[in-house]
């Protein structure tokens, strides 16, 4: 059965490429109001495509761009259900002049499809749709129940998806969520992401004066808020890069020896970091490796600071106020609001005399951690191994995808983060591309996953 479905998908290769090219020609740029009609067109195209694949599909209105929801009409309560998430919106393509071909006139060149959205995310979720279509065409049935939830607002921060998930838990009920919106390390090395960091952020405001004053008349007799803020911020970390805020690491989980060995298999060196960033050297907690610091350790960073005069020439003042934007990347089990309170308390304690300190814009989202031993995750691991020839590397992602946490808390099921693209796909950049081989392997991985599940 499985080999017939795989054979069928291979036989349809050219048609599936043509379909993707047609989809990519729709400029569904969610951020730009001029493209609102195109976003809608992409949603309609996708719903039609899902119907042609043999699914029931509909558009669901939101206060923003619509969701596309689809499910298999043969839904059988005795079988497991996978919810496949993706997004049909794309990033703006500007600057157009840096593209070698028009971002919305997709072309195949040297084994790659070049177009905005090719890898992020149209090619990746269409691979899943084609996998389902191949199964239904070949067998007339699916081995498991399948639901699709494809949104049109991922690239603008999914403002309406969290509340939709919370209000439609029955509709979305499933045994696991499959998300393919990332990359392999290479065509022979799949990657399974099992953790994402969370975020906690706020702004700090330091006031020492009612207004800027003459630095000659008053200098030496009043506090300087820029210096005071620098002292406050400097007190938050030691010279080795450890955060010194009391309690900051209390809820951070300890890595087991096995997990440290697994993370050590990720081929990423200090030289790679230096090449990518232009940093003079890696810097961070000395007792942890780069891969551990990226995903398993929390951070505290200043994203911006401002105070006083920064125009041309000089202006001899003592500024009245100073400000900074602070964010912490959080790891599993840390609570955003608790961390914010801890950091703010440490800043109050570090404030010198003559300073009024206040905070605003507090916000946060927790980290996610996915248990690798869940049967559904194991099915994905086997599917990846058979498709790409090697078992996946297990990675902790340093960034945040808040929607993953929504899926996890609202649906309570494992989330499988298995990307089909490549690191050099130029997502969000000019000349975005998706390898034909990635597209084909993505379909194969999806077919094998449905079978394994
Ligand atoms: Zn993106």
Q: In the predicted model, what is the mean pLDDT of residues 227-233?
A: 98
**123 in the same domain as 23:** yes
Interstrand relation of 81-87 and 176-179 (parallel, antiparallel or unpaired): parallel
Residues with CB under 5 A from ligand 1 (ion): 120
Look at residue 222 and tell me whether its pLDDT is greater than 90: yes
Instruction: Kindly indicate the confidence band of residue 223, based on its pLDDT and cuts at 50, 70 and 90.
Output: very high
**328 in the same domain as 436:** no
Q: Give me the DSSP letters along 239-304.
A: TTS-B-STTTTTTPPPPPHHHHHHHHTS---HHHHHHHH--SS--S-TTS-HHHHHHTS---EEEE
What tens digit of pLDDT does each residue of 24-36 get?
A: 999 999 999 999 9
Among candidate residues 365, 392, 422, the one where a domain is terminated: 365
User: Residue 158 Cα, ligand 1 centroid: separation in angstroms?
Assistant: 11
User: Residue 428 Cα, ligand 1 centroid: separation in angstroms?
Assistant: 6
Q: What is the pTM of this model?
A: 0.89
Instruction: Kindly indicate the confidence band of residue 126, based on its pLDDT and cuts at 50, 70 and 90.
Output: very high
**186 in the same domain as 206:** no
Examine residue 160 and state whether it is found in any structural domain, yes or no: yes
Q: Report the candidate in 394, 309, 323 with the shortest Cα–Cα distance to residue 355.
A: 323
Q: In the predicted model, what is the mean pLDDT of residues 193-203?
A: 95
- pLDDT value of residue 416: 98
**435 in the same domain as 399:** yes
User: Residue 5 Cα, ligand 1 centroid: separation in angstroms?
Assistant: 30
Instruction: Determine the distance from the C-alpha atom of residue 257 to the mean position of all C-alpha atoms in its chain, rounded to a whole number.
Output: 27
User: Residue 379 Cα, ligand 1 centroid: separation in angstroms?
Assistant: 26
User: Based on C-alpha coordinates, what's the Rg of the chain?
Assistant: 25
Among candidate residues 322, 344, 365, the one where a domain is terminated: 365
With 0-12 CB in 10 A as exposed, 13-18 as middle and 19+ as buried, what is 360?
exposed
User: Residue 119 Cα, ligand 1 centroid: separation in angstroms?
Assistant: 9
**121 in the same domain as 26:** yes
**61 in the same domain as 186:** yes
- pLDDT value of residue 21: 98
Look at residue 438 and tell me whether its pLDDT is greater than 90: yes
User: Residue 148 Cα, ligand 1 centroid: separation in angstroms?
Assistant: 18
User: Residue 177 Cα, ligand 1 centroid: separation in angstroms?
Assistant: 19
Examine residue 260 and state whether it is found in any structural domain, yes or no: no
User: Residue 90 Cα, ligand 1 centroid: separation in angstroms?
Assistant: 7
Instruction: Kindly indicate the confidence band of residue 70, based on its pLDDT and cuts at 50, 70 and 90.
Output: very high
- pLDDT value of residue 310: 94
Examine residue 292 and state whether it is found in any structural domain, yes or no: no
What tens digit of pLDDT does each residue of 281-327 get?
A: 999 999 999 999 999 999 999 999 999 999 999 999 999 999 999 99
**432 in the same domain as 413:** yes
Please tell me the total count of domains within the chain. 2
Range of the domain at 248: 198-252+298-365
Examine residue 127 and state whether it is found in any structural domain, yes or no: yes
Crossing angle between the packed helical segments 123-139 and 36-53, to the nearest 10 degrees? 20
User: Residue 412 Cα, ligand 1 centroid: separation in angstroms?
Assistant: 25
**180 in the same domain as 311:** no
Look at residue 402 and tell me whether its pLDDT is greater than 90: no
Look at residue 73 and tell me whether its pLDDT is greater than 90: no
Look at residue 401 and tell me whether its pLDDT is greater than 90: no
Examine residue 192 and state whether it is found in any structural domain, yes or no: yes
The domain spanning residue 113 has which CATH number? 3.40.630.10
Q: Quote the mean pLDDT of the chain.
A: 96
Q: In the predicted model, what is the mean pLDDT of residues 56-61?
A: 98
**176 in the same domain as 33:** yes
């Amino acid at each position: 059965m499985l080999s017939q479905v795989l054979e069928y998908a291979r036989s349809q290769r050219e048609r599936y490429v043509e379909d993707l090219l047609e989809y990519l020609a729709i400029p569904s740029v969610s951020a730009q109001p001029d493209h609102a009609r195109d976003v809608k067109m992409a949603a309609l195209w996708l719903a039609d495509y899902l119907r042609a694949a043999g699914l029931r599909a509909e558009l669901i209105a939101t206060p923003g761009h619509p969701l596309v929801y689809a499910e298999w009409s043969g839904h059988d309560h005795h079988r497991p259900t996978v919810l496949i998430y993706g997004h049909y919106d794309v990033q703006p393509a500007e600057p157009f002049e840096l593209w070698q071909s028009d971002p919305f006139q997709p072309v195949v060149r040297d084994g790659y499809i070049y177009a905005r959205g090719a890898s992020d995310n149209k090619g990746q979720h269409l691979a899943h749709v084609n996998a389902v279509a191949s199964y239904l065409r070949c067998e007339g049935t699916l081995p498991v129940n399948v639901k699709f939830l494809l949104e049109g607002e991922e690239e603008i921060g999914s403002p309406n998806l969290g509340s939709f998930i919370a209000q439609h838990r029955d509709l979305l009920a499933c045994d696991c969520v499959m998300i393919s919106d990332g990359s392999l390390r290479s065509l022979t090395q799949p990657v399974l992401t099992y953790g994402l960091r969370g975020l906690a952020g706020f702004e700090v405001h330091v006031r020492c004066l009612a207004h800027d004053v003459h630095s000659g008349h008053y200098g030496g007799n009043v506090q300087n808020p820029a210096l005071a803020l620098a002292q406050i911020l400097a007190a938050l970390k030691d010279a080795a890069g450890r955060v010194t805020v009391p309690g900051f690491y209390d809820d951070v989980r300890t890595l087991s020896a096995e997990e440290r060995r697994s993370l050590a298999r990720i081929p990423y060196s200090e030289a790679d970091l230096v090449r990518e960033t232009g940093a003079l050297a890696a810097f961070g907690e000395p007792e942890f490796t780069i891969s551990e610091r990226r995903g398993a350790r929390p951070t505290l960073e200043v994203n911006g600071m401002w105070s006083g005069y920064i125009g041309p020439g000089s202006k001899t003042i003592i500024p009245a106020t100073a400000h900074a934007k602070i964010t912490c990347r959080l790891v599993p089990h840390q609570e955003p609001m608790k961390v914010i309170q801890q950091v703010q308390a440490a800043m109050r304690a570090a404030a010198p005399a003559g300073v009024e300190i206040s905070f605003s814009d507090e916000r946060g989202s927790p980290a996610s951690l996915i248990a690798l031993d869940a049967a559904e995750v194991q099915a994905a691991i086997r599917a990846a191994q058979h498709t790409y020839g090697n078992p996946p590397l297990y990675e902790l992602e340093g960034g945040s995808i808040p929607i993953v946490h929504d899926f996890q808390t609202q649906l309570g099921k494992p989330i499988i983060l298995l990307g089909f693209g490549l690191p050099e796909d130029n997502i969000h950049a000019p000349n975005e591309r998706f390898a034909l081989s990635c597209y084909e392997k993505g379909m194969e991985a999806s077919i094998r996953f449905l079978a394994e599940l």
